[in-house]
Amino acid sequence: MCGIHAVISPSSCSFPEISPELHQNLVNRGPDYFGQVMRESSGGRWKLRFTSTVLALRGDRVTKQPLHDDSGSGGGNVLCWNGEGWRFMGEVIGEHENDGEVIYRELKEARSVEEVMGVWRGVEGPFAFVFYCEALQRVFWGRDRLGRRSLMVRRLEGGGVVLGSIADGEGKWEEVEADGVYSLGLGDGVARRHDWVEEGENLHRGI
Indicate if the pLDDT at residue 36 is higher than 50.
Answer: yes
- Whether 204 shows a pLDDT value over 60: the answer reads no
pLDDT at 49: 98
pLDDT confidence of residue 206: 44
pLDDT of 179 > 50? The answer is yes
How far apart, in Å, are the Cα atoms of 37 and each of 64, 73, 79, 172?
11, 15, 10, 25
pLDDT of residue 202: 57
**What would the mean pLDDT of 176-201 be, rounded to a whole number?**
90
Q: What's the mean pLDDT when you consider all of the chain?
A: 91
Q: What's the whole-number mean pLDDT along residues 115-144?
A: 97
State the average pLDDT over residues 92-116. 92
A 10 A CB-CB count for 105 gives 12
Q: State how many domains the chain has.
A: 1
DSSP 91-114: EEPPTTS-HHHHHHHHHTT--SHH
* Whether residue 74 has pLDDT greater than 70: no
57 pLDDT higher than 80: no
- Specify whether 80 is catalytic: no
User: For residue 59, what pLDDT band results from cuts at 50, 70 and 90?
Assistant: low
Alpha carbons 101 and 104: distance in angstroms, whole number: 5
Give the CATH number for residue 188: 3.60.20.10
The size of the chain, in residues, is 207
**Predicted local distance difference test score (pLDDT) of residue 48:** 97
* pLDDT reading at 134 higher than 70: yes
pLDDT in the model for residue 73:
59
pLDDT at position 56 is 76
Domain residues for the domain of 73 are 3-203
Cβ atoms of 32 and 63 closer than 8 Å:
no
Q: Please answer whether residues 113 and 183 qualify as being in contact, where contact means their C-beta atoms are separated by less than 8 angstroms.
A: yes
